[in-house]
Amino acid sequence: MTSAIGTKAASATGTDAIETLAIGKRFGPVVALDGVDLTVPRGTVLCLLGHNGAGKSTLVDVLTTLARPTSGTARVAGFDVLAEPHKVRRRIGVTGQFAALDDRMTPRATLVLLARLHGLGRRAAHARADELLERFGLAEVAARALRACSGGTRRRLDLAAGLTGRPEVVVLDEPTAGLDPVSRLALWDVVRGLARDGAAVLLTTQDLAEADRLADTIAVLRRGRVVASGTPGELKARVGSRSVTVRPADPAAAEQALRAGGITPALDPARGTLTVPAASSRQVSDVLRALDAAGIDPGDLTLSEPGLDEVYLALATPDSAGSARDDSVRGAA
């Protein structure tokens, strides 16, 4: 699309917009972040992938100066989050997991207020609001009280609100959770546009497809640690690009048959399914042949793209190819 969203262009090249070094955060005995190292260069998107409770939101809070890390350092837009939080706040835009908006206000009033607080004069604030309303397809509902607006509208306004100050660094905490597919595509477009305009974007998600689509770098967070990071291509190469799942009448017998054929399936006893990584169609036929040799009907057969579970399975378990510790290195620099 266009570059109309307008982020401050990267002035100092070469410096990373987000840089964390061994960030740790404890809540009493609970370790929420356990030595996280990340870098996000300007003009790139880093997707932070992880389940609920992996530490994504805590990391977002640390980077947006809402929470103080208990150890390590983090620099955002060139400033230390602990030493100079005010300078950090001036350069970031945040969209939270739960829309931080006032239900009684209209989208236009919300954006004008925020623009005014970012230091724009009355006229400039209105112009900025109109620009954002237009860009995010909110013009039609601009004068409607937010409580009468749909969830998708709220989400888009939340994102627009985070951009009123033309941030250099944009932090989006699960921005597409609960969005319909069309709004989701539109939002992906916006995120890519932000990076193209020179902003550094950190986006958290539980959705591997989303990370695959958006990210220059993916970091997988698990129990407060980065267990793997790399480009989507690198990670997919290690996860296996897809998997085949069968649901035979007797999963245990099928498992034995597959192992006999040199294939190691993951058994889901609850659903009675067996899943095998299958990067190529040959591997799919290997599975079918092994079952056929034992006279087992595969039952339902599905091919699926890897999800977060597969990533965890392949990258996060200690006995998998790359051990977690070796991979907790920086993202692509």
Residues that bind another protein (CB under 8 A): 64-67, 86, 89-92, 94, 96, 98, 100-105, 110, 113-114, 116-119, 121-122, 161, 165-166
Joined tokens for residue 197: 């305009």
Nearer Cβ to another protein, position 56 or 222?
56
Nearer Cβ to another protein, position 77 or 254?
77
Q: How far is the CB of 147 from another protein (least distance, A)?
A: 12
Nearer Cβ to another protein, position 83 or 321?
83
Q: How far is the CB of 113 from another protein (least distance, A)?
A: 6
Q: How far is the CB of 131 from another protein (least distance, A)?
A: 17
- Asked if residue 174 lies in contact with residue 214, where contact means CB atoms within 8 angstroms, the answer is no
Q: How far is the CB of 164 from another protein (least distance, A)?
A: 9
Nearer Cβ to another protein, position 169 or 214?
169
Nearer Cβ to another protein, position 95 or 217?
95
Nearer Cβ to another protein, position 117 or 303?
117
Q: How far is the CB of 216 from another protein (least distance, A)?
A: 24
Question: What is the torsional sign of CA 209, 210, 216, 217?
Answer: negative
Nearer Cβ to another protein, position 84 or 255?
84
Distances (CA, A) of 112 to 120, 130, 208, 265, 287: 9, 9, 35, 56, 60
What stretches of the chain show up as alpha helix (H) in DSSP? 56-63, 85-89, 107-117, 122-135, 151-162, 181-196, 208-214, 232-239, 251-260, 281-293, 308-311, 324-327
Instruction: List residues bridging with 38 in a β-sheet.
Output: 20
Give Dmax over CA atoms of the chain in angstroms. Answer: 77
Q: How far is the CB of 114 from another protein (least distance, A)?
A: 8
Work out the number of other CB atoms within 10 angstroms of the CB of residue 280: 11
Q: How far is the CB of 46 from another protein (least distance, A)?
A: 18
Nearer Cβ to another protein, position 164 or 217?
164
Joined tokens for residue 107: 């989208």
What stretches of 167-215 show up as alpha helix (H) in DSSP? 181-196, 208-214
- Asked if residue 21 lies in contact with residue 192, where contact means CB atoms within 8 angstroms, the answer is no
Nearer Cβ to another protein, position 66 or 332?
66
Q: How far is the CB of 28 from another protein (least distance, A)?
A: 16
Map residue 127 onto helix, strand or coil: helix
Question: Please, which residues have CB within 8 angstroms of residue 82's CB and are 6 or more apart in sequence?
Answer: 68, 69, 73, 74
Burial bucket for residue 320 (CB in 10 Å: 0-12, 13-18, 19+):
middle
**What is the distance between the alpha carbons of residues 214 and 195, in angstroms, rounded to a whole number?**
10
Q: How far is the CB of 296 from another protein (least distance, A)?
A: 55
